[in-house]
């Protein structure tokens, strides 16, 4: 059993007021709030440890480098990666996908196929469109069923020896669907395709074990898992990452540079050109410790309770429709109320201190599929409570009254 | 004909009567509901304004030296805002529209009441209204 009121005390922002009322934060899918330990780690870095990593011989540089690398160790453990050098630090999920999509420009040819799905975030669509435009490869899309789950029958038909890569989300940010990625991976591997998983909405909600999962590539963002913005992780198997060419050129990613020939550094440095977000990476370890301290399984179980409760309460609102009703769902609820624009709802509940997301959630193909301009979205984190859900539902009802 | 300045003054006065956000929002919702409908044939892709979370269509006509705006949105509060802008600018001359300083927006606390995305929408709406006026001014 998690002690939620103790957990809440670790997040200073949760006790602030918004529009003169208590903040009720249900936009965790966009970014989560940060515990004091993460905030302190950023602060301490600049106060006490600031120095560039992997370069200097002096004391501070060594200290910063050690702490930076400790986060890599922590991530390796957290996701069950076989090797430390399979953990690449990026700016975030978007950056990680772009790194991979850029690398695949030299691995794909005309006639090759890349498969994504209809529920992807734009950041797992556009880089592949760009990659396919460049290489002449074809982009195929796994369609969505009406409940917001992937049409796995069609997926299996899309697979062929032409399929070189399948890139899908672990959890949909707009619908909450948890995709059957184990099944996707094993089917894709049968035809020799590589698999990349966008884990942005999964990493702090679902236990991960890369060696068991068998994905070739997996990525996520620190800021959606109680960590700082501007930091993310690309995990890739040693074999996959060695097959990809470097992304950006610059300092740190080279072995030797001359005008005749430059050779690249080994993993992970090959993909980490330039000075990284050192403070962010260091503080990310505190976020991981926050999560593992509670236990991802415990977080998942509690968030599922919140999901079930919120779903039941929302369904009591007259004229409501929930988008994404798959059997396996994470703590995300997208909905609309008949005759009301999600935007009007969001504006009014905001005045009552309730932060929800409205709009297309960077998933316009999903909105087109359901034929709506956008939805209102509640997404939970471990610090949310049933009482907050009640406040949110009251606010929504109030908005409905004002707007009808 | 009232000037843009006069009308702005009246709006500021109207909003001065409200004690809290809820009254303000309810007023906006009412204005939104009362907004004169736009002719269906003007609800085109070309007349859509970018930069708003909700969709906004704006149409302008030049009649007897004055500009007449009609508009619509799928969100009611956005319609309320449009209604206010139309009450200030519609029926004025192109020159006075392009020169208009819309001080009332700050004074009635609309800007700070509005989320950044909404504020952007507001800015885009005003910009588009002025662009139409500029086109007829030449
Ligand atoms: C499923 C999914 N993929 C990718 C992203 C992009 O993440 P970031 O903006 O941190 O790069 C998000 C963030 O909203 C997401 O939810």
A180: nearest Cα among A224, A213, A216, A217: A213
For residue range A177-236, what is the model confidence (pLDDT) as tens digits?
999 999 999 999 999 999 999 999 999 999 999 999 999 999 999 999 999 999 999 999
Give percent of chain A above pLDDT 70.
Answer: 100
Same domain as A118, residue A223: yes
pLDDT at A19: 83
Same domain for A284 and A301, yes or no, is no
Last residue of a domain, one of A265, A293, A321: A293
Q: Which ligand 1 atom is at minimum distance from the Cα of A30?
A: 14
Domain of residue A107, residue span: 39-293
| CB pair distance less than 8 Å for B54 and A341 | yes
CATH code for the domain in which residue A318 is found:
3.90.1150.10
**Ligand 1: lining residues by beta carbon, under 6 Å:** A 92-94, 121, 123-124, 169, 173, 198, 200-201, 221
Residue A380 predicted with pLDDT over 80: yes
Cβ-in-10-Å burial (0-12, 13-18, 19+) of A281 comes to buried
| Residue B113 confidence class, pLDDT cut points 50, 70, 90 | low
> Do residues A79 and A128 both lie within one domain?
yes
Q: Is the pLDDT of residue B118 over 70?
A: no
Distance between Cα A226 and ligand 1 center (Å): 14
pTM over the 0.95 mark: no
Domain shared by A46 and A177, yes or no: yes
Q: Residue A132 pLDDT > 70, yes or no?
A: yes
Q: What is the 3-state secondary structure (H, E, C) of chain A?
A: CCCHHHHHHCCHHHHCEECCEECEECECCCCCCCCHHHHHHHHHHHHHHCCCCCCCCCHHHHHHHHHHHHHHHHHHHHHCCCCHHHEEEECCHHHHHHHHHHHHHHCCCCCCEEEEECCCCHHHCHHHHHHHHHHCCEEEEECECCCCCECHHHHHHHCCCCEEEEEEECECCCCCEECCHHHHHHHHHHCCCEEEEECCCCCCCCCCCHHHHCCCEEEEEHHHCCCCCCCEEEEECHHHHHHCCCCCCCCCCEEECCCCCCEECCCCHHHCCCCCCHHHHHHHHHHHHHHHHHCHHHHHHHHHHHHHHHHHHHHCCCCEEEECCCCCECCEEEEEECCCCHHHHHHHHHHCCEECEEECCCCHHHHHHHCCCCEEEEECCCCCCHHHHHHHHHHHHHHHHHHC
Q: Which of A235, A267, A293 is the last residue of a domain?
A: A293
State the smallest CA–CA distance between residue B72 and chain A in angstroms. 13
Give the total number of structural domains in chain A.
2
Domain termination residue (choose one: A262, A293, A324): A293
Identify all chain B residues contacting A348, using CB atoms and an 8 Å cutoff: 25, 77
Check whether residue A222 and residue A350 sit in a common domain.
no
- The CA distance from B78 to B31, in Å, is 10
Find the chain B residues whose C-beta atoms sit closer than 8 A to any C-beta of A. 21-22, 25-26, 29, 53-55, 74-78, 114-115, 117-118
Query: Same domain for A276 and A341?
Result: no
Residues of B in contact with A374 (CB under 8 A): 53
Domains and CATH numbers, chain B: 4-136 (3.90.1010.10)
**Per-residue tokens: A54:** 């992997």
Which residue puts its alpha carbon closest to atom 9 of ligand 1? Answer: A94
A55 and A44 together in one domain: yes
Are A228 and A111 in the same domain? Answer: yes
What CATH number should be reported for the domain holding residue A244? Answer: 3.40.640.10
Inspect the interface and report whether the beta carbons of B115 and A347 lie closer than 8 Å: yes
Per-residue pLDDT at A398: 96
Is A362 annotated in the active site?
yes
Does A380 lie in the same domain as A333?
A: yes
Cβ <8 Å between A347 and B118: yes
Query: Are residues A301 and A289 part of one domain?
Result: no
Instruction: For residue B78, list chain A residues with Cβ-Cβ distance below 8 A.
Output: 343-344
Looking at the structure, do residues A133 and A225 belong to the same domain, yes or no?
yes
CA distance A343 to B65: 36
Cα–Cα–Cα angle for B132, B137, B138, nearest 5°?
110
Indicate whether A335 and A224 sit together in one domain: no
Asked if B55's CB is within 8 angstroms of A373's CB, the reply is yes
pLDDT by residue (tens digit) across A324-341? 999 999 999 999 999 999
Q: Torsion angle, CA of B29/B35/B40/B43, rounded to 10 degrees?
A: -60
């Amino acid at each position: 059993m998690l002690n939620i009121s103790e957990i809440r005390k670790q997040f200073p922002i949760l006790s602030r007021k918004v529009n003169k009322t208590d903040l009720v934060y249900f936009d965790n899918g966009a970014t989560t709030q940060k515990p004091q330990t993460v905030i302190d780690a950023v602060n301490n870095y600049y106060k006490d440890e600031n120095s560039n990593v992997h370069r200097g011989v002096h004391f501070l540089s060594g200290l910063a480098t050690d702490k930076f690398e400790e986060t890599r160790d922590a991530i390796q453990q957290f996701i069950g990666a076989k090797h430390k050098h399979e953990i690449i630090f990026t700016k975030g999920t978007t950056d990680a996908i772009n790194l991979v999509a850029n690398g695949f420009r030299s691995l794909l040819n005309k006639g090759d196929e890349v498969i994504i799905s209809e529920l992807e975030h734009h950041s797992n669509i556009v880089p592949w469109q760009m990659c396919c435009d460049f290489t002449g490869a074809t982009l195929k899309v796994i369609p969505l069923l009406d409940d917001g789950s992937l049409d796995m029958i069609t997926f299996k038909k899309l697979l062929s020896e032409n399929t070189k890569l399948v890139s899908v989300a672990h959890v949909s940010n707009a619908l909450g669907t948890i995709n059957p990625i184990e099944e996707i991976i094993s089917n894709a591997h049968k035809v020799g395709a590589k698999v990349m998983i966008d884990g942005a909405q999964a990493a702090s909600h679902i236990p991960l074990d890369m060696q068991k999962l068998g994905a070739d590539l997996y990525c996520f963002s620190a800021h959606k898992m109680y960590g700082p913005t501007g930091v993310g992780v690309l995990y890739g198997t040693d074999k996959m990452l060695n097959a990809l060419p470097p992304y950006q050129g610059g300092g740190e990613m080279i072995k030797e540079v001359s005008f005749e020939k430059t050779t690249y550094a080994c993993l992970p440095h090959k993909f980490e050109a330039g000075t990284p977000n050192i403070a962010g990476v260091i503080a990310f370890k505190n976020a991981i410790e926050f999560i593992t301290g509670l236990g991802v399984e415990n977080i998942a179980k509690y968030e599922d309770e919140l999901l079930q409760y919120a779903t039941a309460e929302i369904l009591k609102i007259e004229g409501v429709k929930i988008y994404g009703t798959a059997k396996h769902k994470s703590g995300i609820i997208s909905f609309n109320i008949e005759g009301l624009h999600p935007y009007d709802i969001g504006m009014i509940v905001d005045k009552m201190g309730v932060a929800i997301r409205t709009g297309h959630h960077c998933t316009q193909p999903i909105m087109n599929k359901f034929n709506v301009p956008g939805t209102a979205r509640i997404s939970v984190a471990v610090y949310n409570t049933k009482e907050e859900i009640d406040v949110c539902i009251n606010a929504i009802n109030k908005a409905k009254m004002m707007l009808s | 004909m009232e000037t843009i300045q006069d009308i702005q003054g009246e709006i500021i006065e109207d909003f001065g009567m409200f004690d809290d956000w809820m009254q303000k929002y309810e007023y906006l919702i009412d204005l939104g509901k009362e907004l004169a409908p736009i002719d269906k044939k003007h609800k085109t892709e070309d007349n859509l304004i970018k930069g708003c979370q909700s969709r906004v269509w704006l149409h302008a006509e030049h009649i007897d030296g004055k500009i007449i705006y009609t508009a619509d949105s799928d969100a009611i509060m956005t319609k309320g805002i449009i209604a206010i802008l139309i009450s200030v600018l519609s029926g004025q001359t192109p020159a006075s529209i392009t020169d208009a300083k819309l001080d009332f927006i700050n004074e009635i606390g609309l800007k700070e009441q509005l989320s950044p995305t909404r504020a952007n929408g507001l800015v885009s709406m005003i910009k588009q209204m002025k662009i139409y006026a500029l086109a007829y001014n030449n």
